[in-house]
Amino acid sequence: MEILSIILVSILSGILTYLISNNLKKGPVFASAIVTLISGIYLPHYFGELGTTLMVVSACSSYAGMVTIKNIPNIWEMIVVSIITAMIFILASSSYVGVGGRLGTIAALSCFTWIGFKKFVYATNLNVKETLKVRSVGIWS
C-alpha cells in the first residue's frame, strides 16, 4: 500500500507541476513551489507518518515536473517520468538521507532516463530502417 501511495503521489505531483508550468505558463519554479507547499501542508496532516514520506516524494516529483515541453512534450510522457521518479525514490529511500541534492538528483535521473530511452528507440528505428532499405542494384538504381 505504501509503494502504491508513493507512485500515485509522484504521478499527481509531476502532472500538476508540469501543467502549472507549461499549460498555465506560470514557470517551473513557481509550479514546483506551489505543489511542494500544498503537499507539505496537507499530506503530513492527513496521512501521518506516511505523509512525511509522501511529502518528500511529492517534492521530488515536482522537481521532475519542472522539465520543458521540448524534452517531455505531453502529459503521458510526464506520467512515465513520474513513475520512474517514484521507482528510483523507492530504491534509493535509505541512501544518502540528509544529503543535499538527493531529490533533485533523482528527478534529473528520471528525466534523463526517459529522454535517453526515447533517443535510443529513435536511433534504433533509424538503424532498422536503414538495414531494411532495399539497396539499389544495377539498372534499377
> Could you tell me which of 54, 61, 68, 60 has the C-alpha nearest to residue 5?
54
The mean pLDDT of the chain is: 88
Contacts of 128 (CB under 8 A, 6+ apart): none
Band (pLDDT 50/70/90 cuts) for residue 99 is confident
Cell of 122: 529513435
- 35: helix, coil or strand? helix
What is d(CA 24, CA 11) in angstroms, rounded to the nearest whole number?
A: 18
Helix axes 102-132, 75-91, angle to 10 degrees: 120
Residue range(s) defining the domain that contains residue 58: 2-140
Highest mean pLDDT (candidates 1-5, 75-79, 94-98): 75-79
Is the backbone of residue 78 left (phi > 0), alpha (psi -120 to 50) or beta?
A: alpha
Q: What are phi and psi of 25, to 5 degrees?
A: 55, 40
94 vs 83: CA distance, rounded Å: 19
Q: Which residues contact 9 (CB under 8 A, 6 or more apart)?
A: 39, 43, 54, 57, 58, 61, 86
Extract the C-alpha cell encoding 105: 538528483
Question: Looking at the predicted structure, is the pLDDT value of residue 134 above 80?
Answer: no
> pTM of the entire structure?
0.85
The crossing angle, in degrees rounded to 10, of helices 28-64 and 75-91 is: 60
How many domains does the chain fold into? Answer: 1
Query: Residue 50: its pLDDT value, please?
Result: 93
Taking 90 as the threshold, does the pLDDT of residue 34 lie above it? yes
The DSSP code for 99 is -
